[in-house]
Structure 1
Amino acid sequence: MNQIKDKTILVTGGAGFIGSNLCEHLLEYNNKVVCLDNFATGRVQNIQHLLNHSNFTLIVGDIRNLSDCHKAVMGVEYVLHQAALGSVPRSINDPITSNDVNVSGFLNMLVAARDAKVKKFVYAASSSTYGDSEALPKIEDKIGKPLSPYAITKYVNELYADIFQKSYGLNCIGLRYFNVFGRKQDPNGAYAAVIPKFVMQLMKHESPIINGDGNYSRDFTYIDNVIQMNVLALLTENPEAMNTVYNTAFGDRTTLNDLMASLKKYLSKYDEKIASVEVIYGPNRNGDIPHSLASIDKAKKMLGYNPQYSMQQGLEQAVAWYWENLQ
């Protein structure tokens, strides 16, 4: 795969799960990386090993503060905007903060990027934008009504990005992430993602709780596929590939029951007792969609996307990382 090299790139939310993986990858190719994070959900340990790197700059700041955004984009050629408050349940419990960060913060970053005349603004969009659309697979130009405040914020991002291109000529690309997982994903807290949370519970021989009967399915996407998409979005010079959104996924779906079986299988290599941990089934979660599956045809055609990791391949690597780092 082609790589982006010798550029100056801002990663907002660069101490978070996806952001820190992007920072690490970009530094490997002699890019200068600026990381902006307020550590609301990002973690210092994700970037600790980068702090002394000569090409890495950490700015502790908040995208809700326009002056922090202006400071972060100074001298930057490209922006990878990952900063957001994730989680559907969090947005249902506290819609105001989710909106402040995901909408007002996003708008601040667009304004700062416009003022700094950055070449391209690539941002984390979300599969939650498909809302109540029941069509499978999900195709970029067919969405339904949002099912949560979080989904509304991520759809508004797409609308703002489109207007900033039309009004100010700022090149934007949105990446609709589908259930990203992998190394550095935080297993702790009320809003932890399902895979690290299940791994942590299984490692402690605690019974994981599956919402519903376990037959809901997701297009689980390994972090390295997401890194590839971000790099391809930065690299593209094709005007037709710009100012649009792309599904960022593997293009396959896995039920929660199958996910649990795979996690037990891979973790049992390290601790055979995990195979017999009981699973508890609870009620369905408010705002959840039953099934999610991405069409990745557009990304393949327009960006040359070629995901290298299936869900199973990624899961095996992720479990190995968790076993090593979460004991």
Structure 2
Amino acid sequence: MSKVLVTGGAGFIGSNLVDNLITGGDQVIVVDDLSMGLATNLPKSQQIKFYQKSITNHEFMKELLLREKFDYIYLLAAVASVADSVERPYETHQINQEANIYILEIIRKYHLKIKKLLFSSSAAIYGSNSELPKKENSIVDPLTPYAIDKFSTERFVIDCGKLYGIPTVAVRFFNVYGPRQNPKSPYSGVLSLISQAIIHRSTFTIFGDGTQTRDFVFVDDVVQAIVLLTKESEIVHQVFNVGSGEHVSLLQVINAYEIIAGVSLRIVNRPQRVGDIKNSYADIDKLMEVGYKPIFDISKGLKLYWESLKD
């Protein structure tokens, strides 16, 4: 049994990770300000302690880290919106970078003996680089405050890990989807928005012509990768793409989803948004060499996602 901290643990990916950790017998502390997450995402369990706090509360985070002495730390809390980071660059920077570096600094300053710290970065760091698939050693070209913060924090986590002997690892998430995506959030993933348009028979807006491609990865595969890199391997000070290794266009996804749901979607087109990337998918060879095996292709994942929404 391990003692684990999950920041952003009431969110979409975080709560799915918490489920996995609880099943494995861990004691889990979740810190989440519920700006995007939901307390109801967390299972009722004596293995969980939940704090509705912002990770920017340095005094609280310091006291928590020193008191609990965690075995594993998962840094998932973020303002996960490109558009929001463009509108509020410094406010999102405080959450997406400064708060995470402060956690790292407390570990360094007080010589906390953790087994592994994982930081969740993003495929957004690759920016307009046209190389496909995206590899971990591909040129990065972060185009927005969100992407800049993700990449710079990733480097802090990896390189300070090396410098100060802290066991760290980072992951670059591609387009994650699955149960518990919050469709009411302005940061919601495109599949969550499509789902709501289908359910409510409302109009779905495509920004661009719909030929943009993405690597849609089901959340259970993401959790598999997270646990693999922290609890099931000795790998440190490296970064890994986390995706399905496949790429599909938005129009292909819509078509597949319409077949699964038995509904035709009403679509309107708008101009492509500033900061949006045309094509992106992951080279996951490095992660697969560690033992990662993605289980869910887009069709299988969408079926499970749709079933969860109907339930």
Q: Same fold by TM (over 0.5)?
A: yes
Tell me which interval the TM-score lies in, with the shorter structure as reference length. Answer: over 0.9
Residues 157-200 of structure 1, C-alpha deviation per residue, up to 9 Å, x if partnerless?
11111232132111111110001000000001333211111110
Question: Counterpart of 1:119?
Answer: 115
Query: Which residue does 1:299 correspond to in 2?
Result: 287
Counterparts of residues 275-286 of structure 1 (less than 5 Å): 275=264, 277-286=265-274
Tell me, what secondary structure is at the counterpart of 2:240? strand
1:109 aligns with 2:103: yes
Aligned AA for 1:192?
Answer: S
Cα distance in 1, alignment partners of residues 163 and 61 from structure 2: 20
Secondary structure of 1:86 counterpart:
coil
Higher mean Cα deviation, 223-232 or 115-124?
Answer: 115-124
Q: Which runs of 5+ in 2 are unaligned?
A: none
Q: 1:45 aligns to what?
A: 40
- Give the structure 1 partner of residue 295 of structure 2: 308
Does the CA-based 8 Å contact 2:162-2:237 persist in structure 1?
no
Native 8 Å contact 1:131 1:143 kept in 2: no
1:318 corresponding residue in structure 2 = 305
SS at match of 1:58: strand
Is 1:33–1:55's contact at 8 Å kept on the other side of the alignment?
yes
Paired AA for residue 152 in structure 1: I
Residue 66 of structure 1 pairs with residue 83 of structure 2: no
Q: What CA distance in whole angstroms lies between the structure 2 residues aligned with 1:176 and 1:228?
A: 14
Q: Work out whether residues 215 and 280 of structure 2, in 8 Å CA contact, stay in contact via their aligned partners in 1.
A: yes
Q: What is the correspondence of 1:184-199 to structure 2 with a 5 Å cutoff?
A: 184-199=180-195
Inter-partner Cα distance in structure 1 for 2:107 and 2:305:
34
- 1:43 deviates by 1.1
Shift of 1:236: 4.1
Counterpart Cα distance in 2 of 1:14 and 1:84 = 11
1:8-23 matched pairs, under 5 angstroms: 8-23=3-18
Partner of 2:199: 203
Q: Which residue of 2 aligns with 1:261?
A: 255
Instruction: Find the counterpart in structure 1 of residue 22 from structure 2.
Output: 27
Question: How far apart, CA to CA, are the structure 1 residues paired with 2:95 and 2:261?
Answer: 36
1:113-192 mapped onto 2 (5 Å cutoff): 113-114=107-108, 115=110, 116-192=112-188
1:225 maps onto 2:217 in alignment: no
Percent sequence identity over matched residues? 30
- Contact kept in structure 2, 1:34 and 1:72, CA below 8 Å: no
Code of the residue aligned with 1:199 in structure 2: it is S
3-state SS of the aligned residue for 1:176? strand
Residue aligning to 1:251: 245
Q: What does the per-residue CA deviation read over 1:22-56, in whole Å, with 9 as the maximum and x for residues that have no partner?
A: 11111011111111111121111211x32xx1211
Query: What's the TM-score once normalised by structure 2's chain length?
Result: 0.95
- Cα distance in 2, alignment partners of residues 200 and 206 from structure 1: 8
2:47 is aligned with 1:55: yes
Per-residue deviation at 1:121? 0.5
Q: Which amino acid aligns with 1:204?
A: H
Q: Deviations over 1:268-305 (max 9, x none)?
A: 1xxxxx22x3211111011011101100000011x211
* Partner deviation per Cα, 1:75-103 (whole Å, 9 max, x = no partner): 31010110111011111111111101001
The C-alpha deviation readout for 1:293-323, integer Å capped at 9, x for no partner, is 100000011x211111112211110111112
Alpha-carbon distance in 2 for matches of 1:168, 1:61 = 28
Residue 237 of structure 1, CA deviation? 4.2
SS at match of 1:19: helix
Q: Distance in 1 between matches of 2:157 and 2:194?
A: 35
Structure 1: gaps spanning 5 or more residues? 1-5, 269-273
Q: Which amino acid aligns with 1:57?
A: K
- Residue type of the alignment partner of 1:305: Y
What is the Cα deviation at residue 248 of structure 1?
0.3
TM-score (norm 1): 0.91
Give, in whole Å, the separation in 2 of the partners of 1:250 and 1:173: 19
